[in-house]
Amino acid sequence: MVLGIGCDIIEIERIKKSMEKDSFLCRYFTDREIELINKKAFRAAGNFCAKEAVVKAFGTGFGNISPKDIEVLRKSSGAPYVILHEKALSEFERLGASNIFISISHSKETAMAYVVLEK
């Protein structure tokens, strides 16, 4: 059963400008995500959208959930997956969710992510 869906889109250039500040990556991404991003703005934009899409699927927005509570990594195949921590994990459990399906895509100018929360 689908509990929620979330979608987000952002201009890659906006994230690229934000990455000029050292604090940006540390504020929004875990160490493993920063390693994955590897200074590539399109990857940071995709992960940023993924985090937004997750909280939209929760129906909460960020509110009390930190962006770092939602970790977006990649399988060896390149497919993205989500690991939840702290308040994001608590919300997932509160909703009775069992799975998160995620897709991330980008063009030259934009990145987007789509999430389905399943029970």
Q: What is the DSSP string of 92-116?
A: HHHHT--EEEEEEEE-SSEEEEEEE
Q: Which residues contact 94 (CB under 8 A, 6 or more apart)?
A: none
106 belongs to the catalytic site:
yes
The one catalytic residue among 21, 106, 108, 119: 106
The one catalytic residue among 40, 51, 56, 119: 56
Q: What is the DSSP string of 26-77?
A: HHH--HHHHHHHTT-HHHHHHHHHHHHHHHHHHTS-STT--GGGEEEEE-TT
56 belongs to the catalytic site:
yes
What whole-number distance in Å separates Cα of residue 46 and Cα of residue 60?
Answer: 20
Which residues are known to be catalytic?
A: 56, 106
